[in-house]
């Protein structure tokens, strides 16, 4: 706790909302009636953070050991950056030795409707809830910088570093240690107030702040998330094999999607929300009130035929400012083709035809698989005969050869 006499007399002008509330807080702070931690929380709320709590930079020891086990098992797949940064990721002080306290922030991204509704519409593409809006990295990072600036202005010194999935930091265990929620059996942080719909950010500082109490596990005997997973990606509660997770396969994985998962992916073209959406703690969730993270309704159920026809400029324009844009057009076409293959709608086969001569082997290979599922065997074989005469890519040739198998 920083005492009142350590506080700078003037507070920086608030750039966020609730100016009046902030100014009132500043008055109380100047009068020594608010602790630094309370003022920080007030400022965080004014900036649009739904949760703000503090933990020590020493926490939490077991997370690093579990990370090592996870990497050892190969569960990170081709996310090599997870292994390369393991040492710094395992402990905040390995990343920044001067760190003494960590302020963890949460932003609610809940929705009013059923986040899984599009799964019932196989001719549409399902984009996960976090991605149907502005990229949270950009929204949250700006706020973290403002909050960090506020903190430094309060004490008149110190150093800070802000992170939102932008550095090797284990955000979930840190958030649990700070008391924002607990890591549920689906491995994400669950909040008693916002259910599974929280995005996280962190401020590291060399200042010593009073830590909050950690949150306890409130999963009990529930296993709804484990049972809901379409690809059986949980080898055990609290353990995720990313190689099987639809979020990894559709967002992170750079190669072709292994055949064993393609059908289970259904029409999910970017990420997956199934394990989050079934969590009973979501009954306390609410639609986010954050205008900067407002849902883009036009992205909730995009026709797959239109998506397959998008050129690169169209793809960039449609997904500008959202996390989907970072996927790149080639992997996007791969995902759309897989979803079309799962549509059971032979009329969508026409949308795949242009992708058969696509410049990307990823898109071509996925389209061949999809076409085999939509066309009668004879029609597919006739196409395969012609295509194999020209196709040079070994993996795509393999898709043609496998055909209906
Ligand atoms: C890598 C990564 C992924 C990977 C791997 C996910 C994972 N579970 O690790 C993939 C691509 C699959 C992924 C998917 C998603 N991600 Co992601 N991802 C990350 C990232 C960059 C690192 C996570 C990490 O450290 N993994 C390593 C492993 C070791 O961690 P872990 O699974 O959490 O392991 C813990 C448990 O296994 C636990 N444990 C093990 N045994 C036991 C036993 C007991 C009894 C207990 C209690 C615990 C326990 O200990 C480990 C350490 O705490 C973070 C951002 C960050 N820098 O932290 C975002 C992050 C976790 N992702 C996020 C989101 C939103 C998602 C998706 C929902 C996106 C989507 N809709 O598609 C999905 C959710 C999938 C899921 N069920 O986890 C958010 C989660 C917010 C939250 N409320 O928790 C984060 C924090 C980003 C952010 N800044 O908001 N992600
Ligand atoms: S995000 Fe989807 S695929 Fe990944 S673990 Fe959750 S339910 Fe399974
Ligand atoms: S669905 Fe059940 S087991 Fe899974 S995180 Fe929520 S409460 Fe825990």
pLDDT reported for residue 32: 72
SS3 195: strand
- Model pLDDT, residue 31: 66
Q: Which of 165, 217, 227, 398 is catalytic?
A: 165
| pLDDT for the residue 7 | 29
- pLDDT at 5 (0 to 100): 27
In short, whether 250's Cβ falls inside 6 Å of ligand 2 is no
Rounded to a whole number of angstroms, the distance between the first and last alpha carbons of the chain is 65
Task: Name every residue whose Cβ is closer than 8 Å to that of residue 236 and which is 6 or more positions away in sequence.
Answer: none
With a 6 Å cutoff on the Cβ, whether 278 touches ligand 3 is yes
Catalytic annotation present for 165: yes
Q: Which residues contact 21 (CB under 8 A, 6 or more apart)?
A: 42, 45, 46
pLDDT at 212: 97
Residue 245 CB–ligand 2 contact under 6 Å: yes
pLDDT for the residue 11: 27
390 Cβ contact partners less than 8 Å away, ≥ 6 residues apart: none
Are the C-beta atoms of 124 and 342 separated by less than 8 Å?
A: no
Q: Is 224 in the pocket of ligand 3 (CB under 6 A)?
A: yes
On the CB side of 7, CA atoms within 13 Å amount to 24
Instruction: Output the pLDDT for position 33.
Output: 72
Q: Rounded to the nearest whole angstrom, what is the distance from the C-alpha of residue 184 to the centroid of ligand 3?
A: 5
Q: Spell out the per-residue pLDDT of the chain, length 405, in tens.
A: 232 223 232 223 333 333 334 445 566 666 677 899 999 999 999 999 999 999 999 968 899 999 999 999 999 999 999 999 999 999 999 999 999 999 999 999 999 999 999 999 999 999 999 999 999 999 999 999 999 999 999 999 999 999 998 899 999 999 999 999 999 999 999 999 999 999 999 999 999 999 999 999 999 999 999 999 999 999 999 999 999 999 999 999 999 999 999 999 999 999 999 999 999 999 989 899 899 999 999 999 999 999 999 999 999 999 999 999 999 999 999 999 999 999 999 999 999 999 999 999 999 999 999 999 999 999 999 999 999 999 999 999 999 999 866
Residue 268 alpha carbon to ligand 3 centre in Å: 22
Residue to mutate, 231, 232, 235, ligand 2, most ligand atoms under 8 Å from C-beta: 231
The pLDDT, as a whole number, for residue 51 is 97
pLDDT of residue 24: 52
From the CA of 175, how far away is ligand 3's center (Å)?
17
- Ligand 2 centroid–CA 376 distance in Å is 32
Q: Closest residue (by CA) to atom 8 of ligand 3?
A: 219
- Rounded to whole angstroms, the Cα distance separating 181 from 192 reads 7
In the block, tokens 């549920």 appear at 184
Pocket test of ligand 2: the residue of 70, 189, 229 to mutate, having most ligand atoms within 8 Å of its CB, is 229
Residue 17, pLDDT score: 34
Ligand 2 within 6 A of CB of 205: no
The reply to whether ligand 2 has any atom less than 6 angstroms from the CB of 233 is yes
Atom 20, ligand 1: which residue's CA is nearest? 165
């Amino acid at each position: 706790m920083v005492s009142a006499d350590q506080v700078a007399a003037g507070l920086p002008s608030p750039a966020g909302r609730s100016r009046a509330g902030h100014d009132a807080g500043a008055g109380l702070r100047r009068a020594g009636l608010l602790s630094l931690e309370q003022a920080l929380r007030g400022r965080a709320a004014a900036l649009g953070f739904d949760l703000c709590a503090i933990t020590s930079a020493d926490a939490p020891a077991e997370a690093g050991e579990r990370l090592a086990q996870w990497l050892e098992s190969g569960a990170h797949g081709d996310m090599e950056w997870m292994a390369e940064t393991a040492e710094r990721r395992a402990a905040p002080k390995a990343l920044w030795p001067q760190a003494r306290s960590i302020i963890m922030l949460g932003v609610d991204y809940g929705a009013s409707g059923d986040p899984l509704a599009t799964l019932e519409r196989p001719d549409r593409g399902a984009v996960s809830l976090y991605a149907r809006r502005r990229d949270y990295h950009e929204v949250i990072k700006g706020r973290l910088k403002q909050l960090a600036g506020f903190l430094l202005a309060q004490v008149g010194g110190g150093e800070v570093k802000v992170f939102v999935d932008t550095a090797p930091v284990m955000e979930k265990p840190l958030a649990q240690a700070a008391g924002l929620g607990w890591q549920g059996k689906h491995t994400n942080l669950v909040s008693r107030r916002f259910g599974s719909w929280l995005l996280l950010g962190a401020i590291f500082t060399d200042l010593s702040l009073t830590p909050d109490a950690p949150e306890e596990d409130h999963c009990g005997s529930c296993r709804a998330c484990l049972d809901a997973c379409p690809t059986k990606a949980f080898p055990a509660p609290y353990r995720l094999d990313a190689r099987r997770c639809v979020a990894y396969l559709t967002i992170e994985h750079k190669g072709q999607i292994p055949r064993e998962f393609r059908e289970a992916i259904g029409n999910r073209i970017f990420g997956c929300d199934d394990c989050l959406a079934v969590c009973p703690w979501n009954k306390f969730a609410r639609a986010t009130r954050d205008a900067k993270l407002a849902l883009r309704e036009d992205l909730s159920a995009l026709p797959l035929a239109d998506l397959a026809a998008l050129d690169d400029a169209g793809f960039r324009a449609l997904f500008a400012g959202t996390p989907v844009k970072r996927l790149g057009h080639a992997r996007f076409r791969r995902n759309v083709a897989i979803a079309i293959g799962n549509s059971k709608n032979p009329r969508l086969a026409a949308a795949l035809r242009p992708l058969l001569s696509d410049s990307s082997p990823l898109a071509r290979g996925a389209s061949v698989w999809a076409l085999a599922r939509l066309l009668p065997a004879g029609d597919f074989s006739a196409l395969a005969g012609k295509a194999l005469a020209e196709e040079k890519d070994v993996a795509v040739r393999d898709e043609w050869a496998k055909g209906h198998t």
